[in-house]
Structure 1
Amino acid sequence: MSSQTTPSDKYDVDLGELGAKLEIARTENEADVAIVEHTLPPHTLAAPLHRHSREDEISYVLEGEMTVLAGDEIWTVPADEATVKGRNVWHTFWNASDEPLRFLEIIAPGEFSEFFMEISQVYPVDPADEEALARFEEICERYGFEADLESVPKLCEEHGLQI
């Protein structure tokens, strides 16, 4: 049986420009689902290309619009619409608009929601910082998460983004 969440379970962190605030912890429900509110400024890449091996992410856009790259497909998700970023698919997303992006990320199962708090201690990762890179890789491995840090410059150049 899941326990009630405590205030110490909640977080509100910045991962570079991507804000992450835990709204519903996986310990608050029997379904083991978590909800994280994310914010992202205009013309900003949220993360390198990455994939999850254990969970699906459902993004519901509250304000602005999200551009998603998954596999070879790119699409835009406007406010009041949702999209699924499924497990085992290389993907990333960004805010290509002139307005801030705010969305809810429903994570199922919800253990991955704890990744954001842990990774906030080392992200954004400078590939030249071997200690930070090793810690980043250890956290990613524990969560079944792969990230292609080398994808960032190309994505930023191709889509006119910052990180």
Structure 2
Amino acid sequence: MRAGQGDVTGEPGLLDRYLIESQVSGGRVAIIEHIVNPRTLAAPMHRHSREDEYTFVLAGTIGLIEEGVEITATPGDLLAKPRGRWHTFWNAGDDELRVLEIIVPGGLEALFRRLAEPGGGYSPDTLPSLAAEYGAEIDFEATMPLVERHGLAF
């Protein structure tokens, strides 16, 4: 796949570029490029029961909370978000954030696609039940203090 190729979903400020999806890899892996505007939350606090995620920073500065520990990382850093552990991430810098999200096994990327659909369910009322279809839980109460503390768009 060449630069600029691959299906892209989302809205300006929070885009997903699908590089490898689970149906192509026999369910073994999905690789998504997340492109996030400065000071923007990429996802509410959540955990998933089926997948491990690995985030490789390509450009910008990522902020991450994983099981209550908050860190920042920069290009070349690799972050692990094992299944069953609460986490979230955001663009912690003033430049565009680009990361590769490696999801093992694949499948969770289907949720990203559903969220990008018109009326995709990204609200406190509808997202928890949609996420549950993919074995994920959402914690908006833990998300909002983070948004306020860092002045994030959400």
- TM-score, normalised by the number of residues in structure 1: 0.82
Provide structure 1 residue ranges, at least 5 long, that are not aligned to the other structure.
Answer: 1-9, 128-132
Where does residue 141 of structure 1 map in the other structure? 132
Q: Stretches of 4+ moved more than 4 A in 1? A: none
Query: Is 1:47 matched up with 2:38?
Result: no
Taking structure 1 as reference, are residues 123 and 31 closer, same or farther at Cα in structure 2, changes over 3 Å only?
Answer: closer
The 5-angstrom pairing of residues 92-131 of structure 1 reads: 92-121=88-117, 122-125=120-123, 127=125
Question: What SS class does the counterpart of residue 90 from structure 2 fall into?
Answer: strand
One-letter code of the match for 2:130? I
User: For 1:24-54, what per-residue CA distance to the aligned partner results, in whole angstroms no more than 9, with x for missing partners?
Assistant: 1122235611100101111111111100100
Q: Is the 8 A contact 2:27 2:107 kept in 1?
A: no
One-letter code of the match for 2:41? L
CA–CA separation in structure 1 for the residues paired with 2:123 and 2:27: 33
The size of the alignment, in residue pairs, is: 147
Query: Is 1:154 matched up with 2:145?
Result: yes
Provide structure 2 residue ranges, at least 5 long, that are not aligned to the other structure.
Answer: 1-5
User: For 1:131-151, what per-residue CA distance to the aligned partner results, in whole angstroms no more than 9, with x for missing partners?
Assistant: xx1xx3342122101111233
- TM-score, normalised by the number of residues in structure 2: 0.86
Question: What SS class does the counterpart of residue 123 from structure 2 fall into?
Answer: coil
Where does residue 78 of structure 2 map in the other structure? 82
CA–CA separation in structure 2 for the residues paired with 1:16 and 1:124: 15
One-letter code of the match for 1:124? Y
Query: Is 1:57 matched up with 2:65?
Result: no
Q: Is the 8 A contact 2:124 2:140 kept in 1?
A: no
- How far residue 81 of structure 1 moved from its aligned partner, in angstroms, is 1.6
Q: Is the 8 A contact 1:44 1:161 kept in 2?
A: yes
* Higher alpha-carbon deviation: 149-158 or 110-119: 149-158
Question: What SS class does the counterpart of residue 155 from structure 1 fall into?
Answer: helix
CA–CA separation in structure 2 for the residues paired with 1:46 and 1:146: 15
Where does residue 22 of structure 1 map in the other structure? 18
Looking at secondary structure, tell me which structure has more helix per residue.
1
Taking structure 1 as reference, are residues 15 and 148 closer, same or farther at Cα in structure 2, changes over 3 Å only?
Answer: farther
